[in-house]
Structure 1
Amino acid sequence: MAHIPVNHPARPLYRIIAGLVGLYILVFGILGVWATWGEGLFSRNNVWVLGLRTNLAFSLISVVFGIGLLIGASRRGNLGHFMNLTAGVVFMVTGLAMMTVLQTSANFLNFSMSTVLVSLLFGLLFLATGLYDKVGPHDHARAENAYRHGARPSPGRHR
């Protein structure tokens, strides 16, 4: 069974990384809404913002995701942990799905290959931060640390 570190010492760094990526997504979304306002929601025009191609739908989704990710990064509990793991999966699946329809009319979010690569990179970053920002009681953290370093539980104790 996989064991996710609890109360990892670098947790604040991982929260900052997740927050910075969330901030980039929010800024991208706001600038994208500004640049694509007045066009169709799923327009396939050649609009680029911060190095990524976008349309109004993708920009609005980015604003919502950016706000949510910033909220998750600012909380001290496990909300950020679950949000980062979920966002990692969403970004990875979206990147792969949009790559399969890149040169077709099904590319409704107006992705380019650079947008796919950034989506996959953000997915990996969110998965990594989600794996190391779990919070728990100190007893649980000590038991998890002992398990990772090969200590055996005492005979009378069940996990």
Structure 2
Amino acid sequence: MAHFPVNHPARPIYRVLSGLIGLYILVFGVWGVAQTAGESLFGRGSHWVLGLRTNLAFSIASVIFGAFLLIGASRRTNLGHYMNLTAGIVFLVVSILMMAVLQTEANILNFSMSTVIVSMIFGLVLLGTGLYDKIGTPEHADEERNRRNHPVSEAHTRR
């Protein structure tokens, strides 16, 4: 089983990072909905918002996902931890899938290569913030720290 650091000292910075990503995605989505309103849901037009190509479906999904990330960043519980891990994986998987269908009719979210790159960066940052923003009791944090600094694990790293 993986051991996530508990009560990491940089946890507030990670929450701010995930909140800023959520805010960018929310603003992108709202602006995209305003620009693509009245067009088909999965249109392949040339609408660009904040440097990324979009359509109505992608904009609506961005509004939902941006709000999701802002809620996770505003919580001081492990809900944000799990939300960031999930969001990071979703961003990475979607960006890879959309890159695979970039030049085909299956590009239903109207991705461009810049959208793929930004999605991958956001996915990696969210995954990283999710790995380090776990919260627990001081006793749980000490137990996790002791487990990582156990003499047996130190002997393996010296070899």
TM-score, normalization by structure 1: 0.93
Aligned residue in 2 for 1:49: 49
Aligned residue in 1 for 2:36: 36
TM-score, normalization by structure 2: 0.93
Amino acid corresponding to residue 82 of structure 1 in structure 2: Y
Q: How much has 1:58 moved relative to structure 2?
A: 0.2
Identity rate, percent = 66
In the TM superposition, what whole-angstrom CA distance separates every residue of 1:42-63 from its partner, at most 9, and x where no partner exists? Answer: 0000110000000000000000
Alignment of 1:48-87 (within 5 A): 48-87=48-87
In the TM superposition, what whole-angstrom CA distance separates every residue of 1:83-107 from its partner, at most 9, and x where no partner exists? Answer: 0000000000000000000000000
Q: How much has 1:38 moved relative to structure 2?
A: 1.1
Show structure 2 runs of 5+ residues with no match. 153-159
Corresponding pairs, count: 152
The answer to whether residue 121 in structure 2 is matched with residue 121 in structure 1 is yes
Aligned residue in 1 for 2:2: 2
Larger % of helix: which?
A: 2
Q: Distance in 1 between matches of 2:88 and 2:61?
A: 15
Aligned residue in 1 for 2:157: none
Q: How much has 1:148 moved relative to structure 2?
A: 1.6
Q: Distance in 1 between matches of 2:147 and 2:46?
A: 53
Alignment of 1:4-23 (within 5 A): 4-23=4-23
Aligned residue in 2 for 1:98: 98
Amino acid corresponding to residue 37 of structure 2 in structure 1: W
Aligned residue in 1 for 2:150: 150
2:21 aligns to what SS in structure 1? helix
In the TM superposition, what whole-angstrom CA distance separates every residue of 1:102-133 from its partner, at most 9, and x where no partner exists? Answer: 00000000000000000100000110000000
Amino acid corresponding to residue 79 of structure 2 in structure 1: L
Q: Distance in 2 between matches of 1:113 and 1:68?
A: 24
Q: Distance in 2 between matches of 1:105 and 1:2?
A: 40
Q: How much has 1:136 moved relative to structure 2?
A: 0.7
Q: Distance in 2 between matches of 1:118 and 1:68?
A: 18
Q: Supply the RMSD in Å over aligned alpha carbons.
A: 0.9
Q: Distance in 2 between matches of 1:103 and 1:38?
A: 25
Amino acid corresponding to residue 18 of structure 1 in structure 2: S
Q: Distance in 2 between matches of 1:54 and 1:150?
A: 50
Runs of 4+ in 1 over 6 A off after TM superposition: none
In the TM superposition, what whole-angstrom CA distance separates every residue of 1:49-79 from its partner, at most 9, and x where no partner exists? Answer: 0000000000000000001110010000000
Q: How much has 1:137 moved relative to structure 2?
A: 1.0
Show structure 1 runs of 5+ residues with no match. 153-159
